[in-house]
Amino acid sequence: MTRKSVRKRVRKELVATYIRSNPTEGYDGMSKRVNASYRRTGDIRLTMRETELTFDVVWEMVGFRDEVDCLDTQD
């Protein structure tokens, strides 16, 4: 085996180990994190900074998008 092959194999093993020990949180986990942050801060922009998510994602997870959509359909 060349050194490059060995490094590549080791890197793949490290990535696999990291993924096993740090599974992705999925939508539910992300939503819980966003809602907990918003409950604490009461501010969309601060929640965006804390969670490192975009405005659109935070807006939807907090529930404002549903509210605005509901208001748009009532007119």
Which helix or strand (DSSP H or E) is residue 71 part of?
helix 64-74
Q: How many domains does the chain have?
A: 1
Distant-in-sequence, close-in-space partners of 58: CB < 8 Å, separation ≥ 6 = 34, 38, 44, 47, 48, 51
Residue 16 lies in a domain: no
User: Which parts of the chain sit beneath pLDDT 70?
Assistant: 65-72, 74-75
Residue 62 lies in a domain: yes
Name the E strands within the chain: none
Would you state the pLDDT for residue 64?
A: 73
Residue 58 lies in a domain: yes
Which domain, by its residues, includes 60? 25-75
Residue 9 lies in a domain: no
The 10 Å Cβ neighbour count of residue 45 is: 10
Residue 17 lies in a domain: no
Residue 57 lies in a domain: yes
Would you state the pLDDT for residue 47?
A: 94
How far is residue 53's CA from residue 60's CA, in Å, rounded to a whole number? Answer: 11
Residue 41 lies in a domain: yes
